């Protein structure tokens, strides 16, 4: 794993938490256009899942995946995966505008679907997926990795649940990313295919706001997006921000961009600031500038404590095990379907109403 390369970033050293015995949960991988598929497959495997098949029309992608998952069997078509009744779930990280249609095909084949963010690029795709979930009873789960696959983000949720900072009033998120333009595929610069910066990496920010604020819905008050410094790629949005108001009164501001400087040792200095009625939490997810090139940094202050905690390797990422058990037991403990869809809906709305800047 190259910490400077966000497209292929997969957390290492995360505490493993197996929830099933070998062979109890079988999944397959397809559509490997984004490197997040490695984090998704690795986390499912760490939780006890077994990757039975892998399919992608690009043999180089399959060969690269097999170096990490030699237990997987390469197959010649998606149909071979969909027709195998032993497969519980299909994990995919295709080109963003293809993720929705693929998910419907997977669910209609009787399997749960686990897809990289952003799960949709158009509202029509979300509407179709909602209908397919209701019709098939299958799951359309989303890899919102900046919360689900980040130990300090997990720990912040545990602190909030324990009442450490009281009611959450505001969440401020910053999600800078390194562009690495030369290594990006063509679809990355095509608006029709990637959906826009608020739709794409903004989805992380909106999902974590809803989660930490314990909000069921929110309104996008204001959003902006534009291209400030990349004229070579006219359809790329290198900056975006938005402000939201939740149905329970909590507020949110987030900024996402492609301006991580070259001297920075990681792909992005992701930060989160959570204001509660009784205290504050700050997360430095992937680095502590000029001090520590690794992540997991949590700062908490309330009326009784003022503490710094490094949680790397100590907390784990229970979402993946919970998701496996949800699929087997038809429960919703990892994430409700409505939460996954609501985050997607709001990022689509933020993108659609964004004021052009830059």
Same structural domain, 111 and 199: no
CA 183 to chain CA mean position, Å? 21
- Distance, in Å, from the CA atom of 175 to the CA atom of 173, rounded to the nearest integer, reads 7
Question: Is there a domain that residue 30 lies in?
Answer: yes
Question: Is there a domain that residue 208 lies in?
Answer: yes
Question: Is there a domain that residue 103 lies in?
Answer: yes
Instruction: Give the CATH number of the domain where residue 255 resides.
Output: 3.30.360.10
In the beta sheet, which residues pair with residue 93?
A: 32
> How many Cα atoms within 13 Å fall on the side-chain side of residue 1?
17
Same structural domain, 250 and 327: no
137 φ/ψ sector (left φ>0, alpha ψ -120 to 50, else beta): left
Q: Which domain holds residue 276?
A: 147-316+348-357
Same structural domain, 110 and 209: no
Same structural domain, 170 and 300: yes
Same structural domain, 107 and 173: no
What is the pLDDT, as a whole number, of residue 14? Answer: 80
pLDDT per position as a tens digit, 107-132:
999 999 999 999 999 999 999 999 99
pLDDT per position as a tens digit, 173-216:
999 999 999 999 999 999 999 999 999 999 999 999 999 999 99
Quick one: which H or E segment has residue 206? helix 202-213
Question: Is there a domain that residue 341 lies in?
Answer: no
Q: Which two tokens stand for residue 63?
A: 């060969």
Same structural domain, 163 and 250: yes
Q: Cβ(159)–Cβ(302) under 8 Å? A: no
Tell whether omega for the bond before 118 is within 30 degrees of 0, i.e. cis: yes
Domain count, the chain: 2
Instruction: Give the CATH number of the domain where residue 108 resides.
Output: 3.40.50.720
Closest CA to 350 of 228, 219, 236: 219
What is the pLDDT, as a whole number, of residue 12? Answer: 64
Percent residues over pLDDT 70 in the chain: 97
> How many Cα atoms within 13 Å fall on the side-chain side of residue 344?
30
Same structural domain, 154 and 298: yes
- Distance, in Å, from the CA atom of 24 to the CA atom of 20, rounded to the nearest integer, reads 6
Beta-strand relationship, 251-257 and 297-302: unpaired
Same structural domain, 294 and 153: yes
Same structural domain, 160 and 190: yes
What is the pLDDT, as a whole number, of residue 153? Answer: 98
Closest CA to 318 of 43, 45, 29, 37: 43
What is the distance between the terminal CA atoms of the chain, rounded to a whole angstrom? 33
Question: Is there a domain that residue 283 lies in?
Answer: yes
Q: In which residue ranges of the chain is pLDDT below 50?
A: none
């Amino acid at each position: 794993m190259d910490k400077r390369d966000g497209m292929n970033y997969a957390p290492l050293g995360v505490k493993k938490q197996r929830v099933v015995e070998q062979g109890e949960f079988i999944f397959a991988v397809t559509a490997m256009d984004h490197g997040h598929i490695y984090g998704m497959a690795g986390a499912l495997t760490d939780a006890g899942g077994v990757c039975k098949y892998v399919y992608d029309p690009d043999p180089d992608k399959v060969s690269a995946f097999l170096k990490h998952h030699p237990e997987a069997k390469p197959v010649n078509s998606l149909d071979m995966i969909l027709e195998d009744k032993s497969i519980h779930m299909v994990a995919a990280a295709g080109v963003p505008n293809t993720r929705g249609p693929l998910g419907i095909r997977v669910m209609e084949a009787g399997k749960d679907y686990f897809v990289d963010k952003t799960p949709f690029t158009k509202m029509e795709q979300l509407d179709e997926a909602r209908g397919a979930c209701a019709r098939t009873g299958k799951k359309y789960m989303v890899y919102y990795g900046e919360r689900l696959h980040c130990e300090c983000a997990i720990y912040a949720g545990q602190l909030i649940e324990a009442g450490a900072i009281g009611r959450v009033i505001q969440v401020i998120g910053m999600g800078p990313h390194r562009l690495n333009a030369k290594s990006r595929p063509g679809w990355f610069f095509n608006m029709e295919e990637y959906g826009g910066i608020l739709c794409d990496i903004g989805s992380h920010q909106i999902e974590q706001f809803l989660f930490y604020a314990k909000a069921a819905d929110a309104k996008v008050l204001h959003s902006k997006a534009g291209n400030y410094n990349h004229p070579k790629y006219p359809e790329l949005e290198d900056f975006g921000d938005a402000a939201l108001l939740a149905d329970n009164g909590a507020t949110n501001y987030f900024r996402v961009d492609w301006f991580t400087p070259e001297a920075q040792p990681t792909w992005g200095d992701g930060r989160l600031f959570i204001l509660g009625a009784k205290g504050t939490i700050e997360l430095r997810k992937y680095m502590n500038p000029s001090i520590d090139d690794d992540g997991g940094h949590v700062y908490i202050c309330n009326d009784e404590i003022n503490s710094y905690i490094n949680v790397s390797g100590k907390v784990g990422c229970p979402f993946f095990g919970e998701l496996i058990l949800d699929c087997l037991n038809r429960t919703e403990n990892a994430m409700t379907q409505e939460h996954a869809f609501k985050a997607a809906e709001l990022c689509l709305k933020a993108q659609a109403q964004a004021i052009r800047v830059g």
